[in-house]
Structure 1
Amino acid sequence: MLFADDIVLVAESDLEVQSILEVWWHRLESVSVKLSRTKTEYLFCDFGGPSNPSPLALARTFISICSDFRYVGSLVQGNGEVDRDISHRINAGWMKWRQVTGTTCDPRMPFKLKGAIYKSVIRPVILYGLECWAMKKMDEKRLHLVEMRMLRWVCGVTRMDKVRNKCIRESLKVAPVTEKLEGYRFVLVWSCEEER
């Protein structure tokens, strides 16, 4: 996969990765493009059980093995999980939420406007890249809890006030995040079917 100046090489065995890496290195060198040996990383995906990865070398320099790496905004983990990527997206959502708290937590602002700000500014930050996530129910629950915490804060309501989630969502006109997850996945499947 190519993106700007990032390259991802995928293969089934260490030897295959080594040969592909050497081919890329020689081709890049032939057009005077240097491949950084210090930035190049090797992610071993251990889906079939415990095994030891063989070290890879590029021009007699060993490439460091990492447990995860960031590629095009997503965190790819060697064990196939997405929990760290979801945690990163949640943190990014909270950072964006803090930027707009002056508006969203202002009691003079109408709830409809607060809901629109949440839907157009905060939620897209949290859900960025979810088309690639293989989520578990636990991950969906985490996203739901974060969303409800934000929405309660926007409304000025705590859990002690015993206001139902449904009432909060209706006042802000915000659909549950789990429905949005299914919508995003449906659009991805539909667009893939259209290309065929």
Structure 2
Amino acid sequence: MSGDDPGGRCAGFREAISARLDGESPGMPVAALDRHLATCAACAAWSSLVAQVTRRVRITPAQQVPDLTVAILAALPSSPATAAAVRRRVLGTALRLALLAIGVAQAGLAWPALQRGAGAMSAPVHMAHETGAWNLAVAVAFLAVAAAPRLAAGALPFLASFSALLAALTLSDLDAGWVHVERAVLHVLMFVGVGLVATVAWRGRRRWRSAASLREAWV
């Protein structure tokens, strides 16, 4: 068989030779490949040459190169968007945990009045129950926002108006001597919780505006 036609039938045999040198399946019976090499001088010479090149490559020692992994990773630009997303997620988690803690504490303040009817300054039992119910409702609002931040915007009008009115009345009662300082200080817990709910609502509004802007950009 002539060996001057590598682009014809010999091409398939040479692919098989290359595969066998790489330790792979030649894709044809080995006996057929060997018979071709025995009858095709061109493929036999090509096989010998390729085998020599392969052997030289395999036995040539690899050059020592420095480990540039650290330098390459340090040179990679950080993603501002990813870093900002992580910061937002951490802040959101911190706000929810803080609201959870304040909600539990607020419920703890409401429990004695609900359980025993014991109010501050010897308040009547029903007034103590009312106060406990209000404190428990506020605690539930805090816990609901901590569990589902999307509720913050809906809870904020009630919580903000209640806390603003309570703050004004507490200051007035303190000035008139109608409430003890220790009792007034307990309201700070609720004011902090309302501030956290307002922050959660504001962050949710910012996300909604960003999403709306993206939708408009794609329309």
TM-score by length of 2: 0.22
Structure with more of its chain in helix, by fraction: 2
Larger radius of gyration: 2
Structure with higher strand content: 1
